[in-house]
Structure formats: C-alpha cells, structure tokens
C-alpha cells in the first residue's frame, strides 16, 4: 500500500515530527530514552501492536534504513506476519511530499513444506489513504506549523 500526502510544511519538520513519534514509542514500550543521534539501521525494540489490552500482540520493530532528513524504514515482525514500512520526505516548492509505503507478508508453508514469506498486501499498490490517516496527517501538519511559527516573547 502506498499513500502520498502533500503537506504545507518543510520536509525536515515533518521528518523530525515522525522521528519524535518513533522516539516516544520507544520510551513508552521500553522505558529507554533514545536521542535522534542514536538512531541507525539495526536499532530494535519490542512493542504491543494490539488495540486490545486483554490480548497483547508483541512485535519486534527494527529500523532497517535511516537517512536524515528524507528517508527511514522499519520492519515490524511478529509470529508469522511481517510488515515493512518505508517513509520518504521530498522537499517541494510549497511544502513537502510525504510518501508512506507499506508491504505486509505472511509466513506460509511452500509446496516443499518449507516456511516462506508470501506477500498479502503489496507495496506498489497506490491507495487512497483512509479518513483516519488523512486526519492524522492534517493534525501533524497543524502541530508543526504551530510549533515552528510561534514568535518569541519579549
């Protein structure tokens, strides 16, 4: 699944926002405080990806690519499911373009009986983002604009 958002904020600002969300996630699930300087390919932590507190689903989250301020990728892995998420920021004349690409794979037994990963939701399929995702991106852009453009009090 591929979603593209055109935002009226600078690319580095939207990238910083999503890295801050990632760092908050690490703090919430591990209790570790991590700085952006500590992020690099191979960084891993565990998190609960379930919305139901009675049925936790623990996933391993691994940062596979990190290039500040335009690109990062993570892989969520749990039991027999793997989701790769790639986030790209492209600077434009009037803001930036944020491209979110996700691919989901499920582990199944092949014809020879060996376990193999089968793609169940391909990354190259352009998709209209859900209403919830569009609202999240609007809120993120609004928060960034408010944070960045506040005048200093004298």
Mean pLDDT, range 93-119, rounded to an integer = 87
State pTM to two decimals. Answer: 0.79
Residue 74, H or E segment:
strand 71-78
Rounded distance between C-alpha atoms, residue 89 and residue 14, angstroms: 8
- φ, ψ at 103 (rounded to 5°): -130, 135
pLDDT exceeds cutoff 80 at 147: no
Q: Which of 35, 10, 13 is nearest to 24 (CA)?
A: 35
Res 91: pLDDT: 94
Mean pLDDT, range 55-70, rounded to an integer = 92
> What is the C-alpha R_g of the chain?
17
As given in the structure block, the two tokens for residue 46 are 């565990």
- Expressed in angstroms, the distance from the first to the final Cα of the chain is 48
């Amino acid at each position: 699944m591929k979603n593209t958002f055109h935002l009226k904020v600078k690319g580095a600002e939207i990238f910083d926002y999503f890295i801050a969300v990632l760092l908050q996630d690490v703090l919430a699930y591990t209790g570790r405080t991590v700085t952006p300087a500590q992020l690099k390919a191979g960084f891993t932590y565990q998190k609960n990806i379930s919305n139901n507190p009675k049925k936790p689903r623990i996933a391993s989250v691994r940062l596979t690519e990190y290039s500040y301020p335009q690109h990062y990728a993570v892989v969520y892995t749990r039991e027999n499911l793997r989701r790769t998420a790639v986030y790209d920021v492209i600077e434009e004349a009037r803001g930036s373009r944020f491209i979110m690409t996700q691919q989901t794979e499920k582990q199944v037994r092949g014809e020879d009986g060996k376990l193999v990963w089968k793609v169940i939701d391909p990354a190259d399929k352009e998709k209209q983002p859900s209403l919830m995702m569009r609202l999240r991106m609007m809120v993120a852009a609004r928060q960034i604009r408010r944070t960045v453009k506040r005048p200093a009090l004298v």
